[in-house]
Chain A
Amino acid sequence: MITRRKAAGLTALVSTGLLATAACSGTTAPSQGGTSGGSASATKGGTLYYLTKRPAEHLDPQRIYIGRDLANMNRLVYRDLVSLPISTDLKEGTTPVPDLATDTGTSTEGGKVWSFTLRDGVKWQDGKDITCEDLKYGFSRGFAVDVLTGGPNYALAYLDVPQKNGLPVYNGPYKKAGQAEFDKAVTCEGKKITYRFNKPWVDFPLAIASLRFAAPYRADQDKGDQSNYAIFSDGPYKIEGTWKKGVGGTFVRNTNWDPKTDSDKVRKALPDKIVFIEGLTNEIISQRLIADSGNDKFAVTDRRIPAALFSQVTGNPAVQSRATLVDAPFIDYVLPNFNRMKDLKVRQALAMATDQNAYITAQGGDKFGKPAKSIVSPALIGYKDNPNFTAPPDGDPAAAKKLLQEAGVAMPSPLRYTYNGGTSEVDNAAAGMKAAWDKAGFTVTLDPLTDTYYDVIQNPANNKSDVVWGGWGADWPSQATVLPPLFDARINLTEKSNGQDYGNYKSDAANKLIDEAATKPDVQSAATVYNQLDDQLGKDVAYIPLVVQKFYLLRGSGVTNYLQTPASNSYPELGAIGVSSK
């Protein structure tokens, strides 16, 4: 579901974590949430509580598209052919390891064909074996997008089935149309499953390790939309009773999960029970964790500490020791509208004048985020700072004014900034940016929208906004899930919508680089081309980076082995976490 909120909304997915390692980016990374202050021993038992605000929109594996839920369900109930391991190291943490499969897959035809072999002994919660047909069926469900709405739809574009009117002729297992074509593209030979794509998909293992669209599904459990919260597990836990949206659910041990077929690099399965409680406000969650009493001693959360409560955390060493601050997978940025800001120098002036610090300070300061140097997250494979954004974090109004003068525009130059409003923090952030832009020679009109934000900015007829706000998180640890989805005009710009290309950016040079990256045989070599693409985008000022968001999270004192990893999308790593004995 598309939401209206900031990065947590449209950028619902994040498949990568947080840390840029020296090997990848040339920068050192802050440490990612380490182990808790208590015992780090892997003690089994007890009940872990997960306090959260946002309800899980989907718990059907082919429909989950929120980073928190993707990561949690992989650790608890939905195994995949490959998964990302528990590791705070960026390189290790973003390299898939075998899970249901015997290895990380074999690729032929330059990445157009991928094969995996299912390992022996992997079972469903009712004791039946997981079969290749279950994998095939699970994959097919992703095509029933009119019934199973909201999930990632990458497979629709990649799988080698004919397309008609922009959609594959195969419409999922509930209708018969295109079944033969699907059966040719996804085949089972005993325990071996083979996927055939219409173009190279070199990071397919990363994709299925991060998203759940290739998870197996038992056909006899499938009730279409009604299965949205009906969890049928092949992981170390199963649901007790039912999941209630807005309330939560309880997971207990799945006695048919064999740890010998799994790895404690992926799932340690320490607690006996995990209780999810949804619908709590951020303030209540933080107050409960600060108080640290009763069951809240054994609680974790995905919700940031509100800025108003920072002093209660930083002013109390006992509470501070239970707080972690790590890079989040979300990047905020603004996009000049190329239909209106046609002059490069004016866009350069805008970039030069942008006050990142004002944006960050208004929303919580260094606990909210740090200035971004690119629209690409520092945690992604092959990350490099974009060399074209040379302004200091406070902006440089004098240099910006000079650029405007060189552009020959009359000052003050009117500018309309449309952003996703609704809270005082984002309004203050916009006001801070306006002040900086105004100093540089613009005269800015702020245009906050809430429910209609994406309807407006994705409408090609929107000819009022000069600059729009955006937020994004990569779907898996590759720049392929950032730059092409946001800046490839060929897939975004249509008569009815500009897709994710809110700035209406169009560039043959950029498209050429996108196409070149898609031909590379591995993620690392593709990353080199994406660096060039990012450079091109920076030269054109297709975007202006604002912030690499951070997660400032609390936990209870009875939580052990606490980690936040790339695999967990910077949220609490349920594959590792345990609780001390009560």
Chain B
Amino acid sequence: MFAFVVRRVLVGFIMLFVMSLVTYLLFFAAPTDPARFTCGKNCTPELVEQNRKALGYDKPVLVQYVDFVKGVFTGREYPDDPEVAKTAPQTVVHCPAPCLGYSPLMSQNVTSLLASKLPVTASLAIMAFIFWMVLGVSGGVVAALNRGRFLDRALVGTALVFYAFPTFFIGLWLYIYVAIKWQLTPVPVYTPLTQDPAAWLAGLFLPSLTLALIFIASYVRITRAFVLETLGEDYLRTAQAKGLEKRKILTKHTMRASLTPITTVAGIDLGVLLAGAIITETVFNYDGLGKLAVQAATTFDLPTMVGIVILSAFFIITANIIVDVLYAYIDPRVKYS
């Protein structure tokens, strides 16, 4: 198991570097000149050229990438100008390792920028995860146990409806009708947990519900399918025949077996969400990683884009490793070497 984990972690690191390199290459393959975004209305070619040099975009792409990788391990200074370091040291930013770069469009180093957005996205993702696991899995179990009956059809049908609606539609509808017109909840605003836990929770309700609904829909159906499959297994029929309590059959035997694939899917879904729920964060104006990703992409903010790609990949890779390890604990038949 240990060797398995170490191998997966090493492969994960390699993947992170590959993804960051691909991001650099794609960025500079785009037809838009990023240096133009640094210039105001009266942007002369001379100004653009000067700013391109100041940003380091005039260097070959691979040189820029090597500087970036060095910075991850040793830190960097911005601007990297010895003259400015001597004459105006107060304007030089020291970006400590792991330095993911400095965003001139956000006026902040990328590591601290991502760190400031992560709690928002994490709050949203975790709350949505709780919603969809509780409601989605329990809904799926209920549907499976009432197979063919009205309750089963109602749950599956409702799941299909929510699955069909796009997230932005659900989010806007909830915001406009539930919060603004009917005033059933306060207007959603993100409040840090450390500032006011009650406000944090209240502010998360609508956006996390929006995010969770599509997952709830999906998990009702997945759970129902896995539970039905497990219920058909011979060993469960044997347990019933031996007179084991229904509750014990469900909780101890059925759910344990069904949980394995659900765990896999849930872990990966959570990992993906931690990278940012773009649409939900945009609709509810939650200043998380998803919203930052949109901003970075539309303003050609290369350092931030690379940082987000690395962070997203990190979450997904980590989620995969954790899920694989958990798999071995949940299902004793699985062994890693």
Interface residues of A (CB under 8 A from B): 1-2, 4, 10-13, 55, 57, 65, 145-147, 149-154, 165-167, 173-176, 222-229, 244-247, 277-281, 283-284, 287-288, 291, 293-294, 296, 451-452, 454-455, 475, 485, 494, 496-497, 499-500
A147 touches B54 (CB 8 A): yes
Q: Which of B87, B106, B186 contacts A176 (CB 8 A)?
A: B87
Q: How far does the alpha carbon of A244 sit from the alpha carbon of B288 in the complex, in Å?
A: 12
B36 touches A454 (CB 8 A): yes
Q: Which of A2, A244, A288, A294 contacts B40 (CB 8 A)?
A: A2
What residues of A have a CB within 8 angstroms of the CB of B38 in the complex? 1, 149-150
What residues of B have a CB within 8 angstroms of the CB of A13 in the complex? 41
A291 touches B50 (CB 8 A): no
A150 touches B40 (CB 8 A): yes
A147 touches B40 (CB 8 A): no
What residues of A have a CB within 8 angstroms of the CB of B90 in the complex? 222-224
A455 touches B44 (CB 8 A): no
Q: How far does the alpha carbon of A494 sit from the alpha carbon of B186 in the complex, in Å?
A: 55
B91 touches A224 (CB 8 A): yes
Q: How far does the alpha carbon of A270 sit from the alpha carbon of B172 in the complex, in Å?
A: 34
- Majority secondary structure of chain A interface residues (helix, strand, loop or mixed): loop
B91 touches A287 (CB 8 A): no
A146 touches B54 (CB 8 A): yes
Nearest opposing residue in chain B for A290, CB measure? B180
Q: How far does the alpha carbon of A435 sit from the alpha carbon of B45 in the complex, in Å?
A: 37
Contacts A2-B36, A147-B54, A150-B40; is A246 near B91 (CB within 8 Å)? no
Q: Give the distance to chain B from A514, nearest Cβ to Cβ, in Å.
A: 15
Q: Size range of the interface on B?
A: 35 or more
- Among B47-74, those with CB < 8 Å from A are 47, 50-51, 53-54
Contacts A280-B285, A288-B187; is A173 near B42 (CB within 8 Å)? no
Contact code string B158-180 (vs A, CB < 8 Å = 1, else 0): 00000000000000100110001
B42 touches A246 (CB 8 A): no
B176 touches A284 (CB 8 A): yes
What residues of A have a CB within 8 angstroms of the CB of B36 in the complex? 2, 454-455
Q: Give 4 A-B pairs besides A149-B38, A475-B41, A499-B43 with Cβ atoms closer than 8 angstroms.
A: A174-B87, A223-B91, A224-B92, A296-B187
Within 8 Å of chain A (Cβ to Cβ): is B84?
yes
- Among B259-305, those with CB < 8 Å from A are 282-283, 285, 287, 291-292, 295, 298-299
B41 touches A65 (CB 8 A): yes
Nearest opposing residue in chain B for A283, CB measure? B172
Contacts A145-B51, A280-B285, A287-B181; is A175 near B46 (CB within 8 Å)? no
Contact code string B20-49 (vs A, CB < 8 Å = 1, else 0): 000000000011110011111111111100
Q: How far does the alpha carbon of A452 sit from the alpha carbon of B45 in the complex, in Å?
A: 17
Q: How far does the alpha carbon of A281 sit from the alpha carbon of B180 in the complex, in Å?
A: 14
Top 9 nearest A-B pairs (CB, nearest first) are A224-B91, A228-B107, A146-B54, A174-B88, A166-B46, A149-B38, A279-B285, A496-B45, A65-B40
A167 touches B88 (CB 8 A): no
Of the listed residues B30, B39, B107, B183, the one surrounded by the most CB atoms of chain A closer than 10 A to its CB is: B107
Contacts A145-B47, A173-B88; is A245 near B106 (CB within 8 Å)? yes
B39 touches A152 (CB 8 A): no
What residues of B have a CB within 8 angstroms of the CB of A229 in the complex? 107
What residues of A have a CB within 8 angstroms of the CB of B183 in the complex? 291, 293
Q: How far does the alpha carbon of A180 sit from the alpha carbon of B283 in the complex, in Å?
A: 52
Q: How far does the alpha carbon of A11 sit from the alpha carbon of B40 in the complex, in Å?
A: 10
What residues of B have a CB within 8 angstroms of the CB of A55 in the complex? 295
A452 touches B32 (CB 8 A): yes
What residues of B have a CB within 8 angstroms of the CB of A500 in the complex? 41-42
Can you report 21 residue pairs joining A to B where beta carbons are below 8 Å apart? A2-B36, A13-B41, A65-B41, A147-B54, A149-B40, A149-B51, A150-B40, A152-B40, A166-B44, A174-B87, A175-B88, A224-B90, A225-B107, A226-B108, A244-B287, A246-B292, A246-B295, A277-B285, A296-B187, A451-B32, A496-B45
